[in-house]
Homo-oligomer: A and B are copies of this chain.
Amino acid sequence: MRLVTYAGASGPRPGAVVAGDRLVDLGDVAETVTALLTDAAALAAARARVDRAEAAALPVLDASALLAPVVPGKILCLGYNYRGHVPDGVDPTANDPEYPDVFVKTANTLGGPNDAVVIPPGATDVDYEGEVAVVIGRRAQRVALEDALDHVGGYTILNDVSDRAWQRRQSQWALGKCSDGFAPLGPWIVTPDELGDPQDLLVEVVRDGVVTVSQSTSTAIFSVAYVIHHLSQVLTLEPGDIVSTGTPQKLPDAQDAHRPLADGDAVTVRISGIGELTTRFTAAQEAAA
């Protein structure tokens, strides 16, 4: 299933997308997508409704009504998690760190697939990071590696927007990662049964028509299963939480041509089996305190 949260007449509602562009409302099955992921009976009811849906009789999905698919209680992100290109004969795992490097994006960073990211006044080096975001479906506390994927409710896309200038100014990255709206999420959540192997996805970023990132999740250092297992040893992951799995490096040409994001830019993150998330960037209106 592809689960969405959309703006209904009386507030956000869960739904599913079928046949590419048709919307199955699930607002009577559960209040939120997170509630749906948590409740096996509700999830089964949703699945039954999706399975018997007749696309022609359904409303066309209004993409402009899509909201962030979940409102996470926490957003945990990985730093360096993809191996770079190495010359023939060099062990690609030689520089693998022993542990994932984990940081947090705060609640104010969450954005939906239709929200523009406002470049904060004075920000001079805002960048994008296209990532597979894991949505927790079942509470995970000290889970074994072999059970870890049972706690995944689905997969979506996160653009880990980053202000590199702030990121460089301190040892900790919070101020480079936590500006308002710096975590666009969506457009939907693909459930694990539909996605297949999360370590066999192509992560790409397209900017100004140019592919700037293109790398398979098979080159990730830490698998989704490992990351869930690992995090759950230290803290409890709750349904709706997001674990974003890090970005591959930009392609060499894109690194050379890189310039900070500016007013009017648009960045598309596309991931095979999930979909694509396009985010517009706009200049801040100078606001008074």
- Which B residues lie within 8 Å of A101 (CB)? 170-172
Q: Is the CB of B142 within 8 A of A104?
A: no
Give the B-binding residues of A (Cβ under 8 A): 73-74, 76, 79, 97-109, 120-122, 140-144, 147, 163, 166, 169-175, 178-180, 231-236, 238, 287, 289
Q: Beyond A74-B108, A179-B234, is A100–B142 a contact (Cβ under 8 Å)? A: no
Chain B residues with Cβ below 8 Å from A180 are 235-236
8 CB-based A-B contacts, threshold 8 Å: A79-B170, A102-B172, A103-B174, A108-B236, A109-B235, A166-B234, A178-B234, A178-B235
In the bound complex, how far is the Cα of B169 from the Cα of A73, in angstroms?
A: 25
Oligomeric state, in number of copies? 2
A107 touching B74 by the CB < 8 A rule? yes
Contact partners of A178 in chain B: CB under 8 A: 104, 234-235
Q: Is the CB of B287 within 8 A of A106?
A: no
- Residues from chain B with a CB closer than 8 A to the CB of A98 are 169
Contact of A144 among B104, B170, B233, B289 (CB under 8 A): B289
Q: How far is the CA of A1 from the CA of B57 in the complex (A)?
A: 60
User: Nearest Cβ in chain B — how far from A165, in angstroms?
Assistant: 10
Q: Which of B103, B107, B238 contacts A108 (CB 8 A)?
A: B238
- 15 further A-B pairs in the complex, CB-CB below 8 A; given A102-B170, A144-B289: A99-B169, A100-B170, A102-B174, A103-B174, A104-B105, A106-B235, A108-B235, A121-B233, A140-B289, A141-B287, A142-B289, A143-B289, A175-B234, A179-B235, A232-B289
A16–B163 Cα gap in the complex (Å)?
41
